[in-house]
Amino acid sequence: MNILVIEDDKRIAGIVERGLTENGHQVVLSHDGKQGADMMLDGKYDVALLDLYLPRMDGFAVLEKVRGRRCKTPILVLTAVDAVPKILQAFDLGADDYLVKPFLLEILLARVSAIARRVLPAMEPQAIRAGDITLDRSRRLAIREGKHIYLTRKQFDLLELLMKRSGLITSREQLIEAGWGCDSEVKENTLDVYIHGLRAKLEDKRDDDHTLIRTIHRSGYMFVEN
């Protein structure tokens, strides 16, 4: 992805730039808010990383300016304070996510990847096929033997991940993140209820030995192409 980093601390900016570049991203740096806002409005960036406390124009003003001009670039806010009112203010102004400094580079990379999955769906195919099931993204439904099976959003997200990893064990943690987000405190038995609902919709007959979605004891679930 093409990523804009607006950060006045040049040491932090350099670390972030190296980490993103080593992971295959293209990075452009800005060290003050006014320049960063202008660059975001003039350029085409897949994601912007925005410090809140910047010279010339702080991060809140940057958010207000670019969102006021209908700039849709996803913005991950980097902040040195974890005060809830400030974080909520950033979200109100149009931030997509935030990360409190100091942060682990691995966490930053994971957050950037998560944003990419959310905001770049057009880069993925509109249909996924595994076994005799086709998953239609445009209509959020599964098709099996000509039958249209309508899914809830969470059912769709869970089935999509399982089908992408067909034949592989998908952990409970991976499924919970796909369905509810990485910061969710959803209970594991809630996941089991959704998997049970998926099985009921996908299969006319219940046969635990031949079900499409197999339970892997103490590990998670696996989509198996029958």
| Entry field: residues in the chain | 226
CATH number, domain containing residue 17: 3.40.50.2300
| Same structural domain, 80 and 100 | yes
19, 74: one domain: yes
pLDDT, tens digit (0-9, with 9 covering 90-100), for 121-163: 545 557 889 988 999 877 788 999 889 998 888 899 899 999 9
8 A C-beta contact, residue 99 and residue 112: no
Residues 102 and 9 in one domain: yes
Collapsed DSSP state (helix, strand, coil) of residue 175: helix
- Tally of domains within the chain: 2
Kindly state whether residues 6 and 116 are assigned to the same domain: yes
**Greatest CA separation found in the chain?**
65
Residue among 46, 77, 81 at smallest CA distance from 60: 77
**With b meaning 16 or more CB within 10 Å and e meaning fewer, what string describes 116-146?**
beebeeeeeeeebebeebebbeeeeebbbee
CATH number of the domain where residue 202 is located: 1.10.10.10
Whether 131 and 97 share a structural domain: no
197 and 115, same structural domain? no
For residues 158 and 73, membership in a common domain is answered with: no
Q: Are residues 22 and 106 in the same domain?
A: yes
The answer to whether residues 48 and 10 belong to one domain is: yes
Range of the domain at 212: 127-223
**How confident is the model over 36-84, as pLDDT tens digits?**
999 999 877 889 999 999 999 999 999 999 999 888 889 999 888 778 8
Q: Is the per-residue pLDDT at 23 higher than 70?
A: yes
> CA 154, CA 145: separation in Å to the nearest integer?
23
**Whether residues 94 and 187 fall in one domain:** no
> 127 near 135, Cβ under 8 Å?
yes
- The answer on 160 and 111 residing in a single domain is no
Of the residues 80, 99, 121, the one at which a domain ends: 121
Residues 160 and 191 in one domain: yes
Which pTM was predicted?
0.54
Domain boundary among 99, 121, 143: 121
